């Protein structure tokens, strides 16, 4: 029984029968305990009325006090170690789990009571909650010394969980492979550890070796694939789980919804939503938030808002997700209106990123600057580099390039490549090569920039200006820093199947479609292709044909019905050539095409994009 529960019950019983003043149970120091103790003895009341965990909390950190508490415990008609274990458990589960560790050391030094497996399990629980590998390793040593590990699988699993949770994969691996006996908890803990350390292939190899699997086993692997940027593998594994007959739990649902959002698999997302209703998860706040996120990322704002509206309780995450969703879909006015309806829910930094994005995409400069000031002055939120980047984007999109540049120069923190990238985008839109060159050079000079995409944007800027040597230098700078090109990937769901394309995967129909579009006004933007020889025009064009979103679109046209909306999802920013390609296709094929890239949703209809050709 939990220590505090024992104490509460004892207190209520004795208060009823002895009518003792309540303050006798509320001592907060060694002196007050002594006074209460004296009063109890004088009144002839049994010592069992004392709340045991309060005695321990008052006395655990001081040696004289600890010895006083030990004398009280020894006078009770129950084993002393049992009482201390009650107290250790209460501390381990409290808001101050370190007290359990301190009490354990007092027991080891000043008590004759011999610790048992329960003692160590409670102290290990405190170490896990604190992510305290230092004290956890000491406890591990005690357990080994007493020979408890060989016969106690619970303790072995707890120590394995300790090392895994504390980011000690080598220690966790050593512990796992030394274990002669393992249960499903052991295997699951190890899989979670490997997935968390982005060793998803090893996690899957271990998953295949499991003698048995439960829902947590499957969920751990699915979530691991999502966290490792492999949403398609996560979805495939979920479908395999369905074939076993296991029902998903709340954690499974959240992981699969995240994978559906990443690849834009709206059909699967809808199916999961139906399962949520059948399994009684409809009131789970995290699942509802995940549903909103999924529908937003899949381009179905109406369904996202339906889930949002039906929620009985909304968190700041619910509001922020919906506000951001409206913003990235170009619905800036609705995003600001929803922000104004938050009422008692206090916005956080993520919420303000959403509304600042809304202002940026709709050109609402005055509103954006006012919200930025309000965030700081009225809500006490310190701007992050992302907030500063939004303001730079806001000013740059609207053509206030000099103001954006001066804003960057006044930033209290060092601007990163994303901030300079926002300015660079505005310069390319408004044809300002002078500031563009400064921004591009700052991106190249940023030694902390580990995103190869910004180097590509800088290189393309120089290339478009005819400065091919500078363009080559930008790409060489990325290579010299050991950055691996984040190859473009695109996903499209057609006839119930997710298709993935990687840059260079040329669909058989792409060349024919390119020739057709040329006759309808499409002109390839070959100037952004990084080849020094300007005479290799045909080769440049073939490089553009290999962009993953083009292959996905050609497949979508072939695999979907006439008039059906085509939804494509890309992991990096769409290039200018593909953007133009999609515009022409939407007009020629009379199709609505939704393309989500890393930054924003593009809705192509009748040869026009919702982003206004700036993204």
Give the model confidence (pLDDT) of 3-41 as tens digits.
444 344 343 334 443 444 455 566 666 677 777 777 777
Angle, in degrees to the nearest 10, between helices 401-409 and 433-445:
30
Dihedral class, residue 568 (left if φ above 0, else alpha if ψ from -120 to 50, else beta): beta
Residue scoring higher pLDDT (128 or 45): 128
Residue 10: helix, strand or coil by DSSP?
Answer: helix
Percent of the chain having pLDDT more than 90? Answer: 50
**Can you tell me the distance from the alpha carbon of 507 to that of 23, in angstroms, rounded to the nearest whole number?**
80
- Kindly report the CA angle at 556 between 553 and 561, in degrees rounded to 5? 140
Q: Is 592 exposed, middle or buried (0-12, 13-18, 19+ CB in 10 A)?
A: middle
Predicted local confidence at residue 8, as pLDDT: 41
Average pLDDT on 41-51 reads 68
**Can you tell me the distance from the alpha carbon of 357 to that of 352, in angstroms, rounded to the nearest whole number?**
8
Q: How far apart are the first and last CA of the chain?
A: 60
Torsion sign (Cα): 110, 115, 121, 124: positive
Token representation of residue 268? 């699967």
Q: Lowest-confidence range among 71-85, 128-142, 183-197, 491-505?
A: 71-85
Sheet with 608-609, side-by-side order of all strands: 497-502, 489-494, 566-570, 593-596, 601-605, 608-609
Q: Is 229 exposed, middle or buried (0-12, 13-18, 19+ CB in 10 A)?
A: middle
For the cut 90, the answer to whether the pLDDT of residue 462 exceeds it is no
Predicted local confidence at residue 65, as pLDDT: 67
Task: Convert the pLDDT of each residue in 153-198 to its tens digit.
Answer: 999 999 999 999 998 988 999 999 999 889 999 999 999 988 887 7
For the cut 80, the answer to whether the pLDDT of residue 571 exceeds it is yes
Predicted local confidence at residue 211, as pLDDT: 93
Query: CA neighbours within 13 Å on the CB side: how many for 179?
Result: 25
Torsion sign (Cα): 227, 299, 394, 347: negative
Predicted local confidence at residue 90, as pLDDT: 85
Average pLDDT on 257-278 reads 92
For the cut 80, the answer to whether the pLDDT of residue 261 exceeds it is yes
For the cut 80, the answer to whether the pLDDT of residue 550 exceeds it is yes
**Can you tell me the distance from the alpha carbon of 444 to that of 475, in angstroms, rounded to the nearest whole number?**
9
Predicted local confidence at residue 254, as pLDDT: 96
Token representation of residue 371? 């919200």
Per the DSSP assignment, residues forming a β-bridge with 569 are 491, 596
Predicted local confidence at residue 102, as pLDDT: 87
User: Does residue 262 contact residue 569 with C-beta atoms inside 8 Å?
Assistant: yes
φ, ψ of residue 570 in degrees (nearest 5): -125, 145
Residue scoring higher pLDDT (312 or 469): 312
User: Does residue 584 contact residue 607 with C-beta atoms inside 8 Å?
Assistant: yes
For the cut 80, the answer to whether the pLDDT of residue 395 exceeds it is yes
- Kindly report the CA angle at 562 between 561 and 563, in degrees rounded to 5? 110
Write the DSSP string, 386-398: HHHHHHHHHHHHT
Our separate counts of H helices and E strands in the chain read 32, 6
How would you label 79-103 residue by residue, b for 16+ Cβ within 10 Å and e otherwise?
Answer: ebbebbbbbbbbbbbbeebbbbbbb
Residue 498 has what DSSP assignment? E
Q: How confident is the model at residue 528 (pLDDT cuts 50, 70, 90)?
A: low
Predicted local confidence at residue 12, as pLDDT: 39
User: Does residue 509 contact residue 554 with C-beta atoms inside 8 Å?
Assistant: yes
Q: Lowest-confidence range among 2-6, 66-70, 458-462?
A: 2-6
User: Does residue 224 contact residue 198 with C-beta atoms inside 8 Å?
Assistant: no
Task: Convert the pLDDT of each residue in 314-329 to its tens digit.
Answer: 999 999 999 999 999 8
For the cut 60, the answer to whether the pLDDT of residue 242 exceeds it is yes
Q: How confident is the model at residue 527 (pLDDT cuts 50, 70, 90)?
A: low
For the cut 90, the answer to whether the pLDDT of residue 515 exceeds it is no
Token representation of residue 117? 């497996």
**Can you tell me the distance from the alpha carbon of 375 to that of 63, in angstroms, rounded to the nearest whole number?**
50
Percent of the chain having pLDDT more than 70? Answer: 87
User: Does residue 267 contact residue 260 with C-beta atoms inside 8 Å?
Assistant: no
For the cut 70, the answer to whether the pLDDT of residue 534 exceeds it is no
Residue scoring higher pLDDT (563 or 468): 563
From residue 214, give the alpha-carbon distance in Å to each of 25, 157, 207, 242, 249.
Answer: 46, 17, 11, 12, 11
Domain parsing of the chain, residue ranges:
489-609
Helices (H), 19-116: 30-43, 52-59, 63-74, 80-92, 98-110
User: Does residue 460 contact residue 493 with C-beta atoms inside 8 Å?
Assistant: no
How would you label 458-488 residue by residue, b for 16+ Cβ within 10 Å and e otherwise?
Answer: bbbbbbbbebbebbbbbbebbeeeebeeeeb
**Can you tell me the distance from the alpha carbon of 515 to that of 521, in angstroms, rounded to the nearest whole number?**
10
């Amino acid at each position: 029984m939990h220590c505090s529960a024992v104490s509460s019950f004892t207190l209520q019983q004795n208060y009823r029968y002895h009518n003792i003043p309540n303050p006798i149970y509320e001592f907060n120091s060694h002196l007050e305990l002594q006074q209460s103790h004296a009063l109890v003895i004088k009144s002839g009341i049994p010592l069992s009325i004392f709340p045991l965990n309060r005695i321990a909390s008052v006395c655990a950190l001081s040696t004289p006090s600890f010895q006083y508490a030990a004398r009280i415990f020894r006078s009770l008609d129950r084993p002393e170690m049992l009482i201390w274990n009650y107290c250790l458990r209460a501390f381990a589960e409290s808001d101050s789990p370190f007290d359990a560790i301190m009490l354990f050391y007092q027991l080891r030094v000043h008590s004759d009571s011999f610790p048992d497996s329960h003692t160590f399990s409670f102290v290990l629980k405190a170490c896990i909650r604190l992510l305290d590998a230092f004290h956890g390793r000491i406890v591990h040593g005690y357990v080994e010394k007493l020979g408890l590990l060989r016969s106690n699988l619970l303790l072995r699993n707890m120590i394995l969980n300790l090392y895994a949770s504390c980011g000690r994969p080598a220690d966790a691996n050593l512990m796992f492979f030394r274990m002669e006996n393992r249960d499903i908890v052991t295997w699951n803990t190890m899989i979670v550890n490997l997935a968390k350390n982005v060793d998803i292939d090893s996690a899957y190899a271990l998953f295949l070796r499991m003698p048995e699997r439960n829902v947590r086993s499957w969920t751990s692997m699915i979530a691991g694939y999502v966290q490792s940027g492999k949403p398609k593998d996560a979805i495939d594994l979920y479908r395999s789980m369905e074939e076993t007959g296991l029902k998903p739990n709340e954690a499974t649902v959240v992981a699969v919804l995240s994978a559906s959002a990443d690849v834009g698999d709206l059909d699967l997302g809808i199916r999961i939503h139906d399962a949520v209703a059948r399994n009684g998860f409809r009131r789970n706040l995290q699942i509802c938030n995940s549903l909103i996120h999924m529908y937003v990322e899949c381009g179905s704002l109406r369904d996202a808002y339906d889930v949002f509206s039906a929620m009985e309780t909304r968190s700041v995450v619910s509001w922020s997700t919906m506000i951001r969703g409206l913003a990235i879909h170009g619905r800036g006015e609705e995003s600001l209106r929803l922000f104004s309806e938050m009422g008692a829910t206090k916005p956080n930094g993520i919420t303000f990123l959403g509304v600042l994005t809304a202002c940026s995409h709709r050109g609402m400069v005055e509103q954006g600057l006012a919200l930025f000031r309000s965030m700081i002055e009225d809500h006490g939120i310190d701007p992050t580099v992302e907030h500063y980047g939004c303001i730079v984007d806001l000013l740059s999109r609207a053509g206030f390039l000099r103001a954006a540049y001066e804003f960057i120069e006044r930033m209290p923190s060092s601007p990163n490549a994303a901030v300079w990238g926002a300015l660079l985008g505005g310069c390319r839109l408004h044809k300002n090569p002078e500031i563009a060159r400064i921004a591009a050079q700052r991106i190249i000079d940023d030694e902390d920039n580990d995103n190869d995409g910004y180097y590509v944007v800088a290189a393309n800027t120089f290339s478009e200006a005819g400065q091919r040597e500078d363009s080559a230098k930008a790409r060489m700078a990325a290579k010299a820093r050991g950055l691996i090109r984040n190859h473009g990937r695109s996903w499209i769901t057609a006839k119930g199947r997710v298709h993935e394309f990687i840059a260079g995967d040329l669909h058989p129909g792409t060349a024919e479609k390119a020739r057709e579009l040329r006759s309808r006004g499409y002109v390839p933007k070959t100037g952004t292709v990084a080849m020094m020889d300007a005479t290799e025009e045909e080769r440049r064009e073939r490089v553009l044909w290999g962009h993953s979103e083009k292959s996905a679109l050609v497949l979508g046209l072939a695999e979907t019905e006439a008039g059906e909306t085509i939804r494509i999802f890309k992991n990096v920013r769409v290039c200018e050539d593909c953007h133009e390609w999609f515009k022409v296709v939407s007009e020629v094929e009379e199709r609505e095409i939704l393309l989500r890239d890393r930054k924003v949703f593009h809705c192509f209809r009748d040869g026009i994009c919702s982003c206004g050709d700036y993204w």
